[in-house]
Structures are given as C-alpha cells and as structure tokens.
Amino acid sequence: MTTVDSCDVCIVGAGLAGLNALFAASRYLRADQKVVLLDRRPRVGGMWVDVYPYVRLHQPHGMFTAGNIAWTLDRDPGYLATKDEVLDHFAHCLAQIRQRVQVEEWLGWSYVSDTAHDGGVRVVCRTGSGDDHVLETGRLIKAYGFGIGTNDPLQVSSTRVRSVSPDFCDMRGGEIAADTAAVWIIGSGKTAMDTAHALITRNPGREINMLAGSGTFFSSRDRFFPDGAQRWWGGKTLSALSGELSHLFDGTNEHEVARWMRERFGTGPTARADNFLLGVLSEAESRTIAAGLGEAVMGHLVDAVDADDGVDLVLDDGAAKRVPAGSWLVNCTGYLGNTEQPYEPYTNDDGTVLSIQTRSATMHFTSYEGYFMTHLMMLDKLRDIPLYALDLQELLHRSKAVMPFAMFTLARYNLGLIADAVPVGVFNECGLDFDRWYPWHRRTAAALWFMRTHRGESAGLRHTLDTIGERFEVRCGPLDSVLRASAVAAG
Ligand SMILES: Cc1cc2nc3c(=O)[nH]c(=O)nc-3n(C[C@H](O)[C@H](O)[C@H](O)COP(=O)(O)OP(=O)(O)OC[C@H]3O[C@@H](n4cnc5c(N)ncnc54)[C@H](O)[C@@H]3O)c2cc1C
C-alpha cells in the first residue's frame, strides 16, 4: 500500500539552498499551512553533515544563514564558524522558521519523481526502508545544490603510501596525527588550505607538502572583510567588485580578468595559481601555510608507484616526484563536478516546480537561488521574468577558468531583473549579502547605486552571457529559448 499525504510546499534538500527556500516560502504561507522538508541525509545541513570535521566557514558567519536569521553564537563577527557551529545554526534556522509555519521533516527519505497533478504536483518519495510514499503538494522545490558528496581516498598503485580522504580521516587526531611521516596534500583549493592549516598549526616541524595542480588563488578575506574601523572606509564590498567585474569581463577574457583579480584582491600560498573558485582566505592563513609547507610542487597526480627507495608520485606531464615510503596522501582534489546531474530546467510550464541545481543555474550561489527564486515562485512570477539560465555543469567541463566570472555575470544580470519584480523587502531580508559586513551607510550607498545602474548595464551583461553560451556551446539564455534550442538540437 502506498500512503498519500499532502502539503502546501515540498522542499527536497535540507541544505543552505533548501533552508533559504523554506525561509522565503514561510513569508507567504499562513501558520496553519504545511511544508514538508525532505532529505536523504539524516539531519538538516546538507553537505555540512558529511564534510570533513575540521572545515571552517570561509566567510564571517553572520552571512551564512537562511534569510536574515541571526546567529546565536556569542563570537566576534569575523569568527569563522566550525562544522558543529554551522550545523547548530541550521537547527536554529529551522526552529525560527517553525514559528511562522508548520514544517514536517522527512529526513533519511529520497525524492523519486514528480508529475503535474490537479494544479499542483504529485511527488513520489521513498522512505529509508525503501517504501514509496506519495505527496500531493501545491509547489515543489528541488534544492539539490551542487550535489556535493564525500570524497574517497585516491586510488593509487603503490602499497607503500597511506592514501586518505579528509572526509574519513581527521587531520587533528588518530593515526595521521600520531605519526611523523611526511604528508602530501593533493590539491590546492579550500579543502587543501583547511587541511594544510590544520596540519601545520598542530604539528610544527612536520614535513607537510602540497601537490598543487595548477594552483588556486583565493579572495583575500582582509580585503573583503576588514576588521574594526576599516569597515567604515576600507575594504571592498562584494557589490563593488561585481560591478567592476561586469565591466571588465566580456565572455572571452577570463585569464586577463583572473590576473586583474589576483593582483588586486587575491591571496594564496603558491607562486603559481591559475584557478579561482570563489574561495576566501586571509593573508595570515596564506602566510602560515606558505611558511609551513616543505615543498609545493605544481602538477596533477596520475598515480603513485613503488620505486626502489621510495614511492614516485607520477604527474600528468610525465614527471615524477620521489617521496619516502610511508608518506600520507590526502585527497584534497575538490568536490565540484564530482556528481553529474541530469539536465532539468529551473521551472516547469506552470511554475509549480522550482529546481535548484547546476544544469539550469540562475545565480552564482545556490543559497541565493533558494532565496530569490522561491520568492519569485511564491509571487507566481517564475515564468514571467526572462531570467538567464546557465548550464554550469557543462561549463565546468569546458572551462574552469571562465566559471567564476560567468557566475558573477549571471547573478548580476538576473538580480537586476529580480530587483524590478519583487517588493524591496525581499532584498532587505536577504542576510546572505556580503555587503552586510559593512555599516549601514555603505550598504545603502551600494544598494542605491545598483538600483540606479542595473538597467543600463543589462545589455552588456546579456551580451557577455550570450558570448559564453556560444563560445563554450553550453545552454545559456532565457529558459524558453534554451528549451527551444534543446528541442531543435534533439530533432
Ligand atoms: C569543502 C567545502 C567547503 C565549503 N565551504 C563553504 C563556506 O565556507 N562558505 C560557503 O558559503 N560555502 C561553502 N561551501 C559551498 C557549500 O556547498 C554551500 O555553501 C552550501 O552549503 C551548499 O548548500 P546547498 O543546499 O546548495 O547544497 P547541499 O548542502 O549539498 O544540500 C543539498 C541537499 O539535497 C539533498 N538531496 C539531493 N538530491 C536528493 C534527493 N533525490 N532526495 C533527497 N534529498 C536529496 C542532499 O542530500 C543534500 O543534503 C563549501 C563547499 C565544500 C564542498
């Protein structure tokens, strides 16, 4: 027997995107209406439930939230929250939203399929024990985000190295911490920085090395989130950066723009750094890591093979780096793009389904998408506004370098359209905005500038997005034209 249940809104995915969707939906629902929040994971928090234990939030914690829900943590605003603190904040957000609307948590459940039904949506989902369950809902929000899972240790031929993954091996304890053998961190992104920082600060003098791929640079936290009085006049607001990027980036010059960005606002411990994936690092962290690293070798690992007097780390250019037997290899090769998602438009014909994932992205961050797109959905405007949708998954396969600038362009263009379509309170309640680091007068000036200029710059942004779509042959455009082009391509 299949049980049938009903609700007003069903949200699949209890991560940051899902909770922002829940926050936004709660602004339109009555106290007696019901939201079902469904997730495969056993608790609320999305990828933060499974991510490595020594992760730290890379932005000041206040701006990592659902809507404008304030943290209860009694810490300095610049404090970088730990995994447990982030998960506690997720629980707090849910408790706050529950004061406005009924929320049923269906955790440990999977979404299976959905079909149109009687002006709403009929969702089939599966319980942890494998039973199917039907949920009839007015609106369905699939907040899958980037589909981030856990990383396994790297598979290598050598039996003389210890290959581990941060998700299953805490650098701060256990065998790796008790040992003195050399560590090779494979990768140079955020996980590599967290790992290097944890190892270097806890094991001074231990040999910690990095096989850094093409190198990664980060936005300098000191430039974007300065401390104390600097907040009044120093630093760079994210909206100002996004404005400058929108003038510089034309869809063809990502390497030039990356150089510009790195020279002015970048930081990182390696001399070469080709990648920029929107991570944030402080100058102090960068210095600590640079000073604590024994070697930073550029190149991508292909295999580790036993040699006479050690182990060779074989690189993709054919070179090899000899390391002592017994060395640790830590898989910090990143999570982005590890899961392939099927194509799905961000909404259906009647706007009763919203899908937040990488194939039909409308913003740079999924949290923003959860927040703004749900507002549009609840206002019945999802189908009315010609938002650009970009296939980020395909773009990542074609060019990692263009990704961050494409994401900024996409968000700036679509936020301009949304600003003209929603009440001003929607923007006022968006606590995700990095400009909130700055005092009221700077935030207000930035917001007014955006409102004055966004219409004038939209043709240029659209041209940049069209250029990206054509150059990399990825879906990029207003949803209707993307769907038409897909239908033509499919014959
Ligand atoms: C190592 C690492 C560190 C990061 N650090 C930061 C940081 O410091 N600051 C920051 O802003 N961002 C950071 N990020 C980015 C981070 O991913 C986002 O901030 C955010 O947490 C993503 O939220 P999300 O809801 O989009 O996705 P997720 O957290 O992945 O949540 C999606 C949820 O959907 C569920 N789901 C998907 N499909 C189904 C289905 N069919 N049935 C049921 N449930 C389903 C999943 O189980 C998952 O729980 C980091 C990412 C990584 C990998």
Closest by CA position to 434, among listed 218, 236, 191: 236
Position in ligand 1 atom list of the atom nearest CA 52: 1
Report the greatest alpha carbon distance in the chain.
71
Closest ligand 1 atom, residue 334 Cα: 53
Any atom of ligand 1 within 6 Å of the Cβ of 13: yes
Query: Which among 454, 456, 484, 478 has a CA at the least distance from the CA of 465?
Result: 478
pLDDT at 155: 97
Which is the closest atom of ligand 1 to the Cα of 49?
49
Of 426, 349, 427, nearest to 382 by C-alpha is 349
Q: What are phi and psi of 380, to 5 degrees?
A: 60, 40
> What angle is formed at CA 386 by the lines to CA 383 and CA 387, rounded to 5 degrees?
95
Q: 144, 355 in Cβ contact below 8 A?
A: yes
Question: What is the distance in A from the centroid of ligand 1 to the CA of 42?
Answer: 14
Q: For each of the domains in the chain, give its residue range(s) and CATH number, in order of start.
A: 3-149+339-385+421-437 (3.50.50.60), 162-331 (3.50.50.60)
| CA atoms of 324 and 307, how far apart (whole Å) | 10
**Predicted local confidence at residue 277, as pLDDT:** 92
Q: Which pLDDT belongs to residue 356?
A: 98
Is residue 17 lining ligand 1, measured as CB closer than 6 Å?
Answer: yes
Q: For atom 20 of ligand 1, which residue has the closest CA? A: 16
Structure confidence at residue 1 (pLDDT) = 56
Which sign does the torsion angle of CA 421, 424, 427, 429 carry?
Answer: negative
Residue 143 CA, ligand 1 centroid: distance in Å: 9
Mutate to test the pocket of ligand 1, among 54, 148, 191 (most ligand atoms within 8 A of CB): 148
Mean pLDDT by 10 residues, the chain (491 residues): 87 98 98 98 97 96 98 95 98 98 98 95 95 96 94 97 97 93 98 97 94 97 93 92 95 98 97 94 97 97 95 96 97 90 95 97 97 98 96 96 97 97 96 95 93 95 98 96 84 76
Point out which residues pair with 139 in neighbouring strands.
9
Residue 205 three-state SS: coil
Q: Are 354 and 479 in contact (CB under 8 A)?
A: no
| Ligand 1: centre distance to CA 358 (Å) | 12
